[in-house]
Chain A
Amino acid sequence: MKVILNGEPFETTRADSVTGLLEETGFGGREVAVVLNGEMIPAGARGAYRLSEGDHVELFRFVAGG
């Protein structure tokens, strides 16, 4: 399935949920905030969100900054 991850096309091999996508991209268990089609998905609710073809997924994390 093709989704748009952080603005780039991304082909998932097995993931069909937000949690699955995080694992596949190596962010499972890491501190990231997930935005699915413009809506923030709280960490506890990620398992419940299925992915569909063409979904926009954005992942955010903290970086250094003033």
Chain B
Amino acid sequence: MKETGNADDSWTVGGHRFTSRLLMGTGKFRDAETMADAIQASGAQFVTVALRRVGGGSGADDLLESLLKLRGITLMPNTSGARTAAEAIRAARLGRELSGSPFVKVEIHPDPHHLMPDPIETFEAARVLAAEGFAVMPYMPADPVLARRLEDVGCASLMPQGSAIGSGRGLATADMLRLIVRGARIPVIVDAGLRAPSEAAAALEMGCEAVLVNSAVAAAGDPAAMADAFARAVAAGRSAFMAGLMPRGSETAATSTSPLTSFLSPVTP
């Protein structure tokens, strides 16, 4: 059970406090301007960036500048491109050098076709990086036991998949996510698979602390308008969670014909 009782309903991860519960990825946007507009519309305070070797030309390398123009943004470097724990650890250290922030989104996907996270390498990288003082936010399969293990080695949050990355299948892992949320004492942030704002709302309704979206906004007809829609869905989902949902229809409407409790004696010992 998590205690959430701030007057402003903020949440904390890695010692930083955030009021927005929508995290944004910065990939797949048409151009830097579209991205900046969408991030602004989303109200996100926490965005992911990737790390690459400097190319020959210097075409689209002004990403950071357009991001830094938006105020109040915390950068979370990811380790995309890493296929092993060692590569991710190296990328994380470089990312910290560049961002000056302790956050790292550990993502390790060795299979280039489906970008599914490697649980074993992810665990290993998380263990090493957490010990080095990083605020580790692992992108992970929605596996409740892996979640416990990652929490045990000191991760700052958990970022389980809603569904396969890029699939737009929403919360296909809902049952597992519920188990993760129930067991976790650190924030659970659904990452990957979301397509519609209603799915983001559903994640917050079940008690996830936040969601991270990228493709759903970047590939929308109007990214800034979609970012705004996600922001409002996330807020609605959170309010619903705080309000306490009405339970589903009774599973036990029928009562048995012969009473189960007739054996009880009214006498106290």
Contacts and interface: CB of A to CB of B under 8 A. Distances in A.
Interface stretch (B55-63, B203-211, B247-255): B55-63
A31 interface: yes
A62 B63 contact: yes
B53 A26 contact: no
A20 B212 CA distance: 40
Interface in B63-79: 63-64, 75, 77-78
A62 B64 contact: yes
Contacts of B7: none
Given A66-B25, A66-B27, A61 B52 contact: yes
Which size class do A's interface residues fall under? 20 to 34
A64 B35 contact: yes
B48 A61 contact: no
B46 to A, nearest CB: 13
Contact of B93 (A26, A32, A40, A66): A40
A31 B26 contact: no
A63 B63 contact: yes
Interface of B: 25-29, 32, 35, 48-54, 56, 58, 60-61, 63-64, 75, 77-78, 80, 93-95, 97-99, 212, 214-215
10 contacts: A8-B56, A30-B61, A43-B97, A58-B53, A61-B61, A62-B49, A62-B95, A63-B51, A64-B35, A66-B215
Given A32-B54, A66-B26, A66-B212, 19 more contacts: A7-B53, A33-B51, A40-B94, A58-B53, A60-B52, A60-B53, A61-B52, A62-B64, A62-B95, A63-B52, A63-B60, A64-B29, A64-B32, A64-B49, A65-B26, A65-B49, A65-B78, A66-B48, A66-B80
